Amino acid sequence: MTRYIFIVLLIISSFVKSNQFIHGVDISMLKQVEDNGGYFYENGIQIDPIQIFKDKGVNTARIKIWHTPTLNYNNLESVLEIADRAKNAGLDLLLDFHYSDTWADPSSQTKPLAWENLTFDILCDSVQQYSHHVITKLKDQNTLPKYVQIGNETDCGLLWPDGYVCDESNNDSQWNKLGQLFAHAIDGINGALDNQDTLEIISHVSSGGNWFFSNLVSQGIELDILSISYYPMWHGTFTDLIQNINDLGNELQKSVLIAETAYPFTLGWNDNTNNIVGLETQLLEDYEATENGQFLFLHDLITLVGENNFGLGICYWAPDWISTEQFGSPWENQALFDFDGELLDAISAFESPSVKIEKFDNLIFSNIYNYPNPFNVNTTIKYDLPKDEFVTIKVYDMLGNFVCRLIHKNQNSGHQSLQWDANNNKGHPVSAGVYLYNIEAGNIRETKKMILLK
């Protein structure tokens, strides 16, 4: 199996509001696991998983909230409890409103039973009052979220059928209704804040998102962060992911968060609940379903997102959903604890220094990236040149050895691009590996990384 060695580079971006790269975990299942006999260990010693996440480099806890679930989990009472634990451990909070009594995802956005027969105007008012109430309760116990997500994987909208916008409902009237639902949710959230309070609004789809976010923004909805999920079995390769992030970032000029991701440490099982991932065909090429494969996946994902101009961070979904005798788990082989509750090595992927996203007014380059990255044979390097300048681009391997020079000439200001063909590298094909391309113009020099997979 190929293992890639990564370095952390400075990312230049002028649109990102937050300098903190999100190292997140979704701990929405934790209370239910613990109440059903789940215990967690590091080197055989029982631990608090929230504290160990913090100690290992996690900075954000994502928590979902359902309106009135059948069981006493993921409701406001349990969310307040787990939010208090996370805040006391020093974690920022990301609250995920599902606006449902149960799971909300691309295939299901069922209204809470309490709202089922409301007129649209009263539904909007209920969304606003409910959102206001939840944020007020969190603020009152000193656990105001830093991020609030409006809906979960809302590829076709939320609160169906009122907020459904796919198929025959992809029309101005339905988009207007969805916009009103989002606006009332945001008004309710912001209405609970004092002048000194700040939080950022997130919208989340499973993947893609240009169509959805563009239409939503056209309704006057102001979003701070765009978010997508990334599960290889559904959403493709790392190359597909980076293309998705770049497409969103370039079109909407917003930062992009991977709100959900996970990877298996085994294809085996520990209970009689069918696991969601259990086949070799569901795996990402070059990443085995082993403890080391899980570590490599998470490490490489964090690095790729961190090095992307628009990448804001990742949240690992349900790292704590281990199985117990009383409570089965379809996620047990994708948790960050093994079948005995022992902490896995993948957690160390969060320990690398946080990637800082900063703006420098005096840099001559902006929006530097190559696509695709990783790539098999060809990749296109793109960058913006604010003024006419003599530009040199050289490629080096990870040992610092010179590989080739791609350009050495005067260029005019504006958007520039050139292609590197690794198979036709001036008669000297290069092998798979990690390479650095160095761009120089005047006294300014920038270095970026690219990965050749062939």
Is 1 inside a domain boundary? no
**What distance in Å separates the CA atoms of residue 107 and residue 229, rounded to the nearest whole number?**
14
Is 3 inside a domain boundary? no
* Residue 79 near residue 135 (C-beta atoms within 8 A): no
For residue 78, name the pLDDT band (cuts at 50, 70, 90).
very high
CATH number of the domain residue 209 falls in: 3.20.20.80
Number of Cβ within a 10 Å radius of residue 200: 18
Query: Is the confidence at residue 19, as pLDDT, over 70?
Result: no
User: The whole model's pTM is what?
Assistant: 0.76
- Mean pLDDT confidence for 11-15: 40
* Least confident stretch, 13-22, 31-40, 51-60, 100-109: 13-22
- Considering the domain architecture, whether residues 354 and 370 belong to the same structural domain is answered as no
In the residue annotation, 440 being an active-site residue is answered as no
In the residue annotation, 260 being an active-site residue is answered as yes
The residue among 411 and 27 whose pLDDT is bigger is 27
Query: Is the confidence at residue 5, as pLDDT, over 50?
Result: no
Give just the sign of the alpha carbon dihedral 177, 178, 179, 185: positive
Q: What are phi and psi of 296, to 5 degrees?
A: -60, -40
Domain count of the fold of the chain: 2
Q: Is 234 left (phi over 0), alpha (psi -120 to 50) or beta?
A: alpha
Burial 279-317 (b: 16+ CB within 10 A, else e): eeeebbebbbbeeebbbbbbbbbbbbbbbbbbbbbbbbb
- Considering the domain architecture, whether residues 279 and 159 belong to the same structural domain is answered as yes
67, 80, 87, 95, 373 from 145: Cα distances, Å? 18, 11, 9, 6, 34
Is 9 inside a domain boundary? no
For residue 184, name the pLDDT band (cuts at 50, 70, 90).
very high
pLDDT the model gives residue 426: 59
For residue 250, name the pLDDT band (cuts at 50, 70, 90).
very high
pLDDT the model gives residue 401: 77
- Considering the domain architecture, whether residues 127 and 241 belong to the same structural domain is answered as yes
pLDDT the model gives residue 414: 76
Is 51 inside a domain boundary? yes
Average model confidence (pLDDT) across the chain: 90
CATH number of the domain residue 433 falls in: 2.60.40.4070
Catalytic residue among 153, 200, 332, 446: 153
- Considering the domain architecture, whether residues 378 and 396 belong to the same structural domain is answered as yes
Is 233 inside a domain boundary? yes
- Among residues 358, 380, 396, the one where a domain terminates is 358
- Considering the domain architecture, whether residues 236 and 310 belong to the same structural domain is answered as yes
pLDDT the model gives residue 454: 67
- Considering the domain architecture, whether residues 198 and 78 belong to the same structural domain is answered as yes
- Considering the domain architecture, whether residues 114 and 208 belong to the same structural domain is answered as yes
Is 7 inside a domain boundary? no
pLDDT in tens, 118-175: 999 999 999 999 999 999 999 999 999 999 999 999 999 999 999 999 999 999 999 9
For residue 262, name the pLDDT band (cuts at 50, 70, 90).
very high
**What distance in Å separates the CA atoms of residue 64 and residue 141, rounded to the nearest whole number?**
18
* Least confident stretch, 39-53, 90-104, 278-292, 344-358: 344-358
Going by C-alpha positions, the residue among 300, 233, 304 that lies closest to residue 1 is 300
% of the chain residues with pLDDT over 90:
72
Query: Is the confidence at residue 54, as pLDDT, over 70?
Result: yes
Is 4 inside a domain boundary? no
- Considering the domain architecture, whether residues 284 and 403 belong to the same structural domain is answered as no
pLDDT in tens, 199-241: 999 999 999 999 999 999 999 999 999 999 999 999 999 999 9
- Among residues 358, 392, 424, the one where a domain terminates is 358
- Among residues 337, 358, 379, the one where a domain terminates is 358
Query: Residue 18 is encoded by which pair of tokens?
Result: 């937050």
Domain that holds residue 442: 366-452
Is 2 inside a domain boundary? no
- Considering the domain architecture, whether residues 201 and 217 belong to the same structural domain is answered as yes
pLDDT the model gives residue 290: 96
- Considering the domain architecture, whether residues 212 and 69 belong to the same structural domain is answered as yes
- Considering the domain architecture, whether residues 135 and 250 belong to the same structural domain is answered as yes
Query: Is the confidence at residue 357, as pLDDT, over 60?
Result: no
pLDDT the model gives residue 8: 34
- Considering the domain architecture, whether residues 234 and 306 belong to the same structural domain is answered as yes
Catalytic residue among 200, 260, 307, 446: 260
